[in-house]
Amino acid sequence: MLVLRLGLFFLVRKEIDETVGTVLQSFGIGFLFDLTIIFYLFLPWILYRIWLPKSWERSSMHRLASATFLLIYALYPIVSSVIECLFWDDIGKRINFLAWDYLVYPEEVIGHLISSYPLEYLIPALCVLGGLAFRVLYRNLEIPAMSKLFFVERVVLTGAFLFFAVLSVIYVDGQQSQFSRNEHLNELSKNGFYNLFTAIRHYDPVFEEYYLTSDSQEVAKKIHAHYEGDEVEFLSDDPWDITRRITNEGEERSWNVIMVVMESMSGTFMSYHGGDENLTPNLDALTQESLFFSQHYACGTRTVRGVEALSLSVPPCPGPSRVKRRYNHRLYSLGYVFRDRGYDSRFFYSGYGRFDNMGPFFASNGFDLIDRHDFTEEESHFGNVWGLCDEDLYHKVIREADEAQSFGQHFMFMVMNTSNHPPYTVPKIPGDLAHKDPKKQAVRYADYAIGVFLEEAKKHSWFDDTLFVFVSDHAACSAGEKILDLPARRIPFIVYAPKWVKAEESKKLACQLDVAPTLLGLLNFSYVSRFYGQDLMKDRPGLAVVGDHEKLGIVTEEGVSLLQAQQRNMTYPEGLSKDIVEMNTAIYQHAADWRRTMQRVPTR
């Protein structure tokens, strides 16, 4: 475990500018977690040895049990280190809650591992190393005989070990790794499997038990003040209720909408944000021909966080996304706003909808689902374990748009692609766009497919009256030196409709919560809203909500306020305005009551 931690330290040492003392503190905390996980691992064998009857000591069952325990102990440090390295290579962090989330999808995970890593060499190597370690342990490890202990002595020993186990559960917690403003040091201090144990313990935390809270009346006042405006009318006397009527003057525009949610498309890939390899020529061209929000940030770090923010316009909550939680049906959603106006609202997914519960979530929140099951053999030309390629997906979207048009029905399609995702296997693209790096090749393919999609769409009668929205689900990688790396969280938000939408750039601070209200504003819809985002075309201060599994923050022009578990708050810069810190608390405290505040209401 120490060797693993040293190896990871040398990978990121150039991004660590802390003192030697802080680095040693990271290793010290890590040593505590390592000891704790080893104690948990050995405790079953210790108790087994304490209570082993003398008559069993020479039995074949005892030898089998001892061999089983020793095999586990021989394999653990080897296998866990390899898994930690693969996880770090994938997302730049120690094993965390994602591993627990993925365990329920073995088909995708195993397929991803087979496609991404040389398992045909790795597994035999692990078996050989594990076998050698087992041989050394089995031949050389001497276990003190405990069969001569009196019953009382065994009870006392058992009680002592269980007492230490209880103490470790109470006083050792994964949050102790959040000691530094350098995220690399925080990650280095962790033990991946202890981190996983902590994630399971706190998988669905109660907000009020772990985070700073304020008086509920003060929270309600702040939330109401945030949404007040000339075009807003609150519809309830309950101060906690944010249901409000949004009024836009003039006729509603019954345009079609195709929202493309691009997998892992970071803003940093684009030339505008400093990308220097021309990875996204089509997106770069669209920024000059569209309404382009250049300071737009992802609300989370996973697809389910992105689609939650885009469809519900609700801040992330600690623990699992609402997409995967119970009682998440018939929530106030963008799909219902369009469905209440007679639109054909659908969610297209190039993978299988069961993954991350996305299919059931969208099907019960205002969208019809089209996933990989709905593609015929003739419609499926290329795919991997995560889904069909982007071109297959966009061709399906065009065919379904033609069908809706033939029935005279307006449509709102939310389209989630998967090509820019490990293992980064994509169809061939023109030679001048090819790249040796598979990750960059996948980005170029995703961008190339967008260009092909728009060129094909222009040939269809519904093109002129369709808003094309291009937004990412999350950035490619949010791991970095800072606890909240804002440049790494920046993602594109582009609205393209050359006949109706003026090409211009907005530098207002924004996040995925704002996509739905802004889209409805462009359509000039007057509607009843429970969204937490705002119409970016209105004259209001910008605000970005950013979070992950346990960190919950807001970004303003002044700085960042970040809520963390154990009722802590961190600001960048230090000494940030108290109003911003209180606003951060109010937003997440209110959104934590989502089962009550986000239920569906008629939107007309």
Average pLDDT of each block of 10 consecutive residues along the chain (604 residues)?
92 85 92 91 89 84 87 88 86 80 78 82 89 86 74 92 90 81 86 83 77 91 88 90 93 96 95 90 96 96 95 92 93 97 97 94 97 96 94 98 96 97 90 87 96 97 98 84 80 97 96 97 96 94 89 91 83 87 94 93 93
Q: How far is CA 468 from the centre of its chain?
A: 24
On whether both 220 and 185 belong to a single domain, the answer is no
On whether both 147 and 241 belong to a single domain, the answer is no
Which range marks the domain in which residue 505 is found? 216-597
Query: Mean pLDDT of all residues in the chain?
Result: 90
Q: Do the domain assignments include residue 209?
A: no
Is 307 in contact with 543 (CB distance < 8 Å)? no
Number of domains in the chain: 2
On whether both 71 and 107 belong to a single domain, the answer is yes
On whether both 494 and 395 belong to a single domain, the answer is yes
On whether both 533 and 395 belong to a single domain, the answer is yes
On whether both 333 and 395 belong to a single domain, the answer is yes
Question: In the beta sheet, which residues pair with residue 368?
Answer: 346
Question: 385-440, pLDDT tens digit by residue?
Answer: 999 999 999 999 999 999 999 999 999 999 999 999 988 999 988 887 888 899 99
On whether both 122 and 264 belong to a single domain, the answer is no
On whether both 26 and 51 belong to a single domain, the answer is yes
On whether both 164 and 246 belong to a single domain, the answer is no
- For the chain, the C-alpha Rg in angstroms (whole number) is 27
What pLDDT is recorded for position 441?
A: 94
On whether both 181 and 225 belong to a single domain, the answer is no
Q: Do the domain assignments include residue 233?
A: yes
Distance CA 261, CA 516 (A): 13
On whether both 280 and 366 belong to a single domain, the answer is yes
Write out the two tokens for 103. 């365990």
Q: Do the domain assignments include residue 489?
A: yes
Q: Do the domain assignments include residue 602?
A: no
Q: In 508-593, which residue ranges form alpha helices assigned H by DSSP?
A: 515-522, 578-591
Of 532, 551, 547, nearest to 590 by C-alpha is: 532
Q: Do the domain assignments include residue 210?
A: no
- Residue ending a domain, among 203, 231, 260, is 203
- Residue ending a domain, among 157, 176, 203, is 203
Distance CA 93, CA 86 (A): 10
Of 410, 102, 77, nearest to 256 by C-alpha is: 410
How buried is 529 (Cβ within 10 angstroms: 0-12 exposed, 13-18 middle, 19+ buried)?
buried
- Residue ending a domain, among 175, 203, 231, is 203
Q: Do the domain assignments include residue 208?
A: no
Q: Do the domain assignments include residue 226?
A: yes
Residues 6+ apart with CB under 8 A from 313: 334, 513, 514, 515, 516, 517, 531, 532, 533
Rounded to two decimals, the pTM is: 0.89
Three-class SS state of 539 = coil
Q: Do the domain assignments include residue 22?
A: yes
Question: 216-265, pLDDT tens digit by residue?
Answer: 999 999 999 998 887 889 999 898 999 999 999 889 999 999 999 999 99
Can you give the CATH number for the domain in which 305 is found? 3.40.720.10
Is 467 in contact with 501 (CB distance < 8 Å)? yes
On whether both 250 and 344 belong to a single domain, the answer is yes
How buried is 508 (Cβ within 10 angstroms: 0-12 exposed, 13-18 middle, 19+ buried)?
buried
The amino acid at residue 336 is Y
Question: 11-22, pLDDT tens digit by residue?
Answer: 888 888 888 889
Find where tokens 């079609």 sit: 256
